[in-house]
Amino acid sequence: MDKKLEKYLKPNLKEARMRKSDIEYKEFILDEKYKSLGEGKKYRIQTYGCQANEADSEIVAGILEKIGFTLAEDEVDADLILLNTCAIRENAENRIWGELGRLKIYKKDKPNLVLGVFGCMPQEERVVEKILDEYPYVSLVYGTHNFYKLPEYIYRLSEGEKRVIEAYSYEGSIIENLPKKREQTHKAWVHITHGCDEFCTYCIVPYTRGKERSRLKDDIIAEVKHLVERGYKEVTLLGQNVNAYGKDLEGDYTFSDLLLDLDKTGIERIRFTTSHPRDFDDKTIEVFRTSKHVMPYVHLPLQSGSNKVLKKMNRGYTKERYLEVIRKLKDARSDISITTDIIVAFPTETEEDFLETLEIVNEVGFEGAYTFIFSPREGTPAFSYENNITEKEAKNRLKRLNDLVNKGYLEGSKKFQDKTVKVLVDGFSKKKDGVLSGYSEHNKLVNFKGDESLIGKIVNVKITKPMTWFLIGEYVK
Ligand code: 5AD
Ligand code: SF4
């Protein structure tokens, strides 16, 4: 290991794979000496990647405000700039390197500005080494397991430590009662599990986010009840594989039990992401028939339509199993909207394998999909798989897939022509004055004219013009 790294607490992807620590459940406690650390100082957080990162940034903002920091309206005014990073694909990482290059300029006028990087990228030793070598002006680096220790790190910097670099290979505990500064006042993220134990061969997440661990059901239910009391209308339950909820806990309380309990809390809308086709059990499918508040929408990553490729990806299901889950979901709720994730050009994927993917996309009628070209991640098994697919061919497959997916988006939108849908209004759309936007029960983005008083409410909107990416409608009083 590089000498420079020795004095820091550094991660190691090989160790991260081992799942050796026991999980403790702890409460967040703020030491007296940290309580006014941020007084008179301003912060900015830039968040990249998935919803788990967005939820984590809300916690980090909550912690910072608890110790006296206030939000800087403009990054020029910030005394602390933190990047919450994503490691899932190479281009996600490249954006961060570019951003760090851009932010360097502020250090000139403000030498005391603290520039920090946290989240998934610092869980990779390669990243920490690169920051040490090439970004000397980045003084704070910490991972996904220890972001609650931020007050201590800021304290150490204020006491004169030049750089604080701390990322653990193994997962820490589950910390409850963390402060949160929620972005919205009507819909909220709620973590139900942390980490992932699936080890899909292409994916870095089980290494960067550690062992799969479920929050206790009473903590989750209490959090949702508290949100209801404060007027929240919607929760999105978060986990890398929500269907595995509870498997690491004692007893036989599983995801479907949690959904049914949350259905009784008074929350209007329940969503969840991400699901795993192997673990999506019949009891959970049944919830779509029986619950009042679970929304008719599922994001169910397919990844590939070829059994050979699925096996090489270690996904743990066949295309037949995937289609069975879809069929059962449609039986339970005929109007259900389904979206997915697909990777093209995974090592060994042939034209025939790819055509099988297109076939399933056609058959299922996805109403949306996130599509990606395979990106080799160092430390994962697929990184060293031989890959003869040229970039040109990979791009060609992505384009053909996207053309088909876009048709699905439009078909999904057209289903709502002349229908009145219920929209939870987020706010004014960025593009046009006087146009509100929000999401329907089927998770369609809906734009319509209306006034400020509707923000945060669930209102009826009649769809007049379905577009590929969103629906246009008229407010129905
Ligand atoms: N390359 C391309 N796509 C990936 N994903 C995860 N890892 C990789 C990778 N190495 C995609 C999967 C996953 C989504 C969040 O990102 O489709 O479902
Ligand atoms: Fe990655 Fe697979 Fe876990 Fe999803 S289920 S986070 S793709 S390892």
Pocket test for ligand 2, best of 194, 203, 299, 322 (most atoms within 8 A of CB): 203
The alpha carbon of 403 and the centre of ligand 1 are apart by a number of angstroms equal to 20
* Secondary structure element (H or E) that encloses residue 352, with its range: helix 351-364
Class of domain 3-166: alpha beta
Which of 199, 240, 273, 322 maximizes ligand 2 atoms within 8 Å of its Cβ, making it the mutation to test the pocket? 240
The C-alpha angle 33, 52, 427, rounded to 5 degrees, equals 95
3-state secondary structure of 430: coil
May I ask the CATH class of domain 420-476? mainly beta
User: Model's pTM, two decimal places?
Assistant: 0.95
Distance 205 CA to ligand 2 centre (A): 6
If you take atom 2 of ligand 2, which residue's CA is the nearest one?
200
* Distance from residue 97's CA to the centre of ligand 2 (Å): 24
Residue environment code for 349-368, b if the CB has 16+ CB neighbours within 10 A, otherwise e: beeebbebbbebbeebebbb
Nearby residues of 362 by Cβ (< 8 Å), 6 or more positions away: 404
Tokens representing residue 163 in the block: 């750089």
- Compute, in angstroms, the gap from residue 78 CA to the centroid of ligand 2: 35
Please provide the distance, in angstroms rounded to a whole number, between the alpha carbons at the two ends of the chain.
66
- For ligand 1, the distance from its centroid to the CA atom of residue 240, given in whole angstroms, is 12
The reply to whether 328-415 shares the fold of 3-166 is: no
**Relative to the alpha carbon of 381, which ligand is closest?**
1
Position 475: which residue type? Y
- Output the residue whose Cα is nearest ligand 2's atom 1: 203
Give the closest residue to 369 by CA, choosing from 380, 361, 377.
361
Neighbours of 217 (CB within 10 A): 18
Q: From the alpha carbon of 203, which atom of ligand 1 is closest?
A: 7
Q: Return the domain boundaries, the chain.
A: 3-166, 184-295, 328-415, 420-476
Q: For residue 301, which of 325, 271, 333, 332 has the smallest C-alpha distance?
A: 325
The yes or no reply on domain 184-295 and CATH 3.30.70.3340 is no
* 88 CA closest ligand 2 atom index: 1
pLDDT by residue for the chain (477 residues), tens digit each?
Answer: 444 555 667 778 878 787 776 788 889 999 999 999 999 999 999 999 999 999 999 999 999 999 999 999 999 999 999 999 999 999 999 999 999 999 999 998 899 999 999 999 999 999 999 999 999 999 999 999 898 999 999 999 999 999 999 988 877 679 999 999 999 999 999 999 999 999 999 999 999 999 999 999 999 999 999 999 999 999 999 999 999 999 999 999 999 999 999 999 999 999 999 999 999 999 999 999 999 999 999 999 999 999 999 999 999 999 999 999 999 999 999 999 999 999 999 999 999 999 999 999 999 999 999 999 999 999 999 999 999 999 999 999 999 999 999 999 999 999 999 999 999 999 999 876 799 999 999 999 999 999 999 999 999 999 999 999 999 999 998
CB atoms within 10 A of CB 403: 10
Please check whether residue 2 is in contact with residue 134, taking contact to mean a CB–CB distance below 8 angstroms.
no
CATH code linked to domain 328-415:
3.30.750.200
According to DSSP, residue 21 is labeled P
